[in-house]
Structure 1
Amino acid sequence: MRGVVLFLLVFVLLPFLPLGVWRAYLLDAGVFLLLYTALALSWDLVARTGQLSLAHGAFFGLGAYGVGLLEPHVGTLPALLSGSLLAGLSALLLGSVTLRLHGLYFAIASLAFSEVLRTLALKLPFTGGPIGLPVPPAFGGAPLAPYYLAFAVLAVAVGLSLWAEHSPFRLAQAACRQSEPVARVLGVRVVRVKLLSLLLGSLVAGLAGGVYAMKALFINPYEAFSLGRAVEALVIPIFGGLYTTLGPLLGGVVLVGLEQVLRLWIQEGYLVVYGAILILAILFLPRGLLGLWRRRRG
């Protein structure tokens, strides 16, 4: 818990630190770090039930398009909330149809859901089609608005994750993850637990997508509904430590920070080095950074 509080404290104070000539770059990178970490926490909420979701890129994209379409008419915060609710409604629709599936079957169904949404965004005229959609900046272009909106999204994700980690809901999620038949015998309503987890994760992912759109100022279906976004959402918790709040926070800082450093130093081809580091981490850190830290403390 102290590590989570320290993490949030560092990022809430970052704009006030003497960052010198790196200030603009670090604050821009900080926005994406906060958003991707929030997305990772939202994925981890679903993974705690044993489900492998590849739909978080779709929830992210729905939040982004919801903001892009609504912000010019209703303003920043109503558009953000509407985009998040749109992602939540899509999660309820997806979950009601697919959450009786297990393992890879659910993963394939969630991936198909993402591809369907991307195809719709490409074909529907009001989304801008393959050309994309311009998005107004948050609060009329206030300089630090995207940063603090991203921080607020992460704070929501952390709050939901801590609640799930320290409430009786954690036991229901763990029972679903270990054995659904046993969980049913114990009185756990498995589908309801998985559906609630998917709903909470989708709401956070939708918020993250909305803030991302207002930061990027432009979205298109290939970027908004990218499979890479869903993969990044699952890689960060695996690298940091699954089924915890601190693990995805650590993973987000290290992986997103590492990507930015490699992009500056190596430029072309940095993804090769980044991928090699991920492979080595998965091979030699099966429980992530948090597992390594706990083992050394023990």
Structure 2
Amino acid sequence: MRGLPWVALFLLLFAFLPFLPLGVWRAFLLDVGFFVLLFTALALSWDLVARTGQLSLAHAAFFGLGAYGTGLAVPHLGTLPALLLGALLAGAGALLLGSVTLRLHGLYFAIASLAFSEVLRTLALKLPFTGGPIGLPVPPPFAGEWPLAAYYLGFGILLLAVALSLWAERSPFRLAQAATRQSEAVARVLGVRVVRVKLLSLFLGSLVAGLAGGVYGMKALFLTPYEAFGLRLAVEALVIAIFGGLYTTLGPLLGGVVVVGLEQALRLWIKEGYLVVYGAILILVILFLPRGLVGLLGGRRG
């Protein structure tokens, strides 16, 4: 049960953040908190796939599918049904990608998943109903009747991501993922259905990424293919998980707070040069904390 008190503390903090006395920084801190929730959920969904040994760069595709699916559906269906539709669209994309590519390994799968994201971004640029390069306006959640709706939708997605991560970490599925990651040949000898394990992991991760994309669209009120399908999303999810600690639930939670908070603070204080400092800090952490931030807490990698 190691790490669960920290996970619970993290969730409690963000559940009650809007009710804390934040003063003149309230709006800014709530925006930062929203992006911490969203990108932490995205990192947890990426880590769920990484536990099978696959380096996925397709999370930008799942995020974009969820964002555009929700954005197109929300004027007709309402907030929650549109989010569900966007998540299912992302899940369908994961099943399509997985059925074709999950027999690939390592770098080959990473390249295939990156190509999948680029194909979808090109389609979003060309198809007329997506708004093309001009972009797609998206209504706010619940027609803007509740100012904190986007924040708590993001919190709900994080809860789902945490629940899936804890299930994968503490159920027999963890053993199937670990065997697949260590050696697919040995896993098959042990009776593990390797492709099914990888496909299920990719599907569950894509659902969370699709929900995150849908909430992002309703928060931003506008989508463009360059943002919704941008490689930056996949890289940020990867960096947060590695920074915090791979194959754990606590790692991406810690990584999300530090990485997103650090990025926003440096952008505010240093402006144009913040990327240089941000990159240098990330390099130092990766070099000297190979187990991520959970290593400082005595955490144990799965």
TM-score category by the smaller chain?
A: over 0.9
Match of 1:135 among 131, 134, 138: 138
Say yes or no: does 1:82 pair with 2:85: yes
Say yes or no: does 1:29 pair with 2:32: yes
2:16 alignment counterpart: 13
The one-letter code matched in structure 1 to 2:178 is A
Q: After superposition, what is the alpha-carbon deviation per residue over 1:174-232, rounded to whole angstroms, capped at 9, x for unaligned?
A: 00000000000000000000000000000000000000000000000000000010000
Shift, 1:140, TM fit: 1.0
Distance in 2 separating the partners of 1:20 and 1:202: 37
Distance in 2 separating the partners of 1:57 and 1:214: 17
Shift, 1:295, TM fit: 7.4
Shift, 1:28, TM fit: 1.2
1:257 alignment counterpart: 261
Identity of paired residues, percent?
A: 83
2:123 alignment counterpart: 120
Q: After superposition, what is the alpha-carbon deviation per residue over 1:143-181, rounded to whole angstroms, capped at 9, x for unaligned?
A: 000000000000000000000000000000000000000
Unaligned runs of 5+ in 1: none
What SS does the aligned partner of 1:78 have?
Answer: helix
Distance in 2 separating the partners of 1:80 and 1:271: 33
Match of 1:171 among 164, 170, 175: 175
Shift, 1:291, TM fit: 1.6
2:197 alignment counterpart: 193
Shift, 1:29, TM fit: 1.2
Q: After superposition, what is the alpha-carbon deviation per residue over 1:81-122, rounded to whole angstroms, capped at 9, x for unaligned?
A: 000000000000000000000000000000000000000000
Distance in 2 separating the partners of 1:207 and 1:168: 26
What SS does the aligned partner of 2:271 have?
Answer: coil
Shift, 1:292, TM fit: 2.7
Match of 2:97 among 94, 99, 112: 94
Say yes or no: does 1:284 pair with 2:283: no
Distance in 1 separating the partners of 2:205 and 2:128: 29
Say yes or no: does 1:238 pair with 2:242: yes
Shift, 1:293, TM fit: 2.3
Q: How many residues align?
A: 296
Say yes or no: does 1:147 pair with 2:151: yes
The one-letter code matched in structure 2 to 1:275 is G
1:52 alignment counterpart: 55
- 25-34 or 196-205, which moves further after superposition? 25-34
Say yes or no: does 1:2 pair with 2:9: no
Distance in 1 separating the partners of 2:127 and 2:272: 35
Say yes or no: does 1:72 pair with 2:78: no
Shift, 1:18, TM fit: 0.7
Distance in 2 separating the partners of 1:257 and 1:224: 21
The one-letter code matched in structure 2 to 1:41 is L
Could you say what the CA RMSD is over the residues aligned between the two structures, in angstroms? 1.0
Distance in 2 separating the partners of 1:207 and 1:272: 31
Q: Structure 2 vs 1, CA of residues 295 and 128 (structure 1 numbering), >3 Å: closer, same or farther?
A: closer
TM-score by length of 1: 0.98
Deviation beyond 4 Å, 4+ runs, structure 1: none
Say yes or no: does 1:222 pair with 2:235: no
What SS does the aligned partner of 2:124 have?
Answer: helix
